[in-house]
Amino acid sequence: MTAPRQQRQTWLMLVALLTAMIVLPISQTSLLPLLPSLARDFGVSAADINWLMIANLVASAVLTPLLGRLGDLYGHKRLLLLALLGPVAGSLLAALTHSFALLVLARVLQGATAGVFPLAVGIIRTHLPQPARGMALISTSMGVGSGLGVLAGSVLMTGWGYQAIFWLLFALSLAALLAVARVVPTDRVAGHVRGVDLLGALTLVSWLCALLTAISKGNTWGWSDTRILGLMLLTAIGLGAWITVERRVRHPLVDLTMLTRRTVALTGIAATLTGFGMYGSLIMVSEFVQTPREAGFGFSASVLGAGLMLLPSSLGNLAAAPLGLKIGPRRCLIMGGVVSAVAMLLVITGHDYSIAIYLASAFIGLGTGLAFSAMPTCINMAVPADQTGIANSMNVVFRTIGSATASAVMGAILVSSHTLHVIPTLGAYQAAFLLTTLGFLAAGLIPLAITGSTPPNWEGVVGRSDS
Per-residue pLDDT of the chain in tens (467 residues, 90 and over written 9): 566 777 788 888 888 999 998 898 899 888 888 887 888 888 887 678 888 988 898 888 888 878 877 887 788 899 999 999 999 999 999 999 999 999 999 999 999 888 888 888 888 888 776 676 777 677 667 767 777 788 888 889 888 989 999 999 999 999 999 999 999 888 766 555 566 788 988 998 899 889 888 887 887 788 888 999 999 999 999 999 999 999 998 888 778 888 888 888 899 999 999 999 998 998 899 889 988 998 899 999 988 898 899 889 888 887 887 887 788 888 899 999 999 999 999 999 999 999 999 999 999 999 998 998 888 888 888 888 777 766 777 787 888 889 888 988 887 887 777 654 567 889 999 999 999 999 999 999 988 875 433 444 444 443 333 33
**pTM of structure:** 0.81
Distance CA 219, CA 375 (A): 35
Rounded to 10 degrees, the C-alpha dihedral 51/139/446/444 comes to -90
Interval 304-349: pLDDT, tens:
898 899 889 888 887 887 887 788 888 899 999 999 999 999 999 9
Burial class from Cβ neighbours inside 10 Å (0-12, 13-18, 19+) for residue 80 reads buried
Cα–Cα nearest to 432, from 287, 275, 317: 287
Give the per-residue pLDDT at 178: 96
The answer to whether the beta carbons of residues 79 and 47 sit under 8 Å apart is: no
Residues near 136 by beta carbon (within 8 Å), at least 6 away in sequence: 321, 324, 325, 373, 374, 376, 377, 462
CA distance 165 to 154: 9
Answer for the pair 187, 124: CB distance below 8 angstroms, yes or no. Answer: no
CA distance 311 to 394: 29
| CB atoms inside a 10 Å sphere around CB 412 | 22
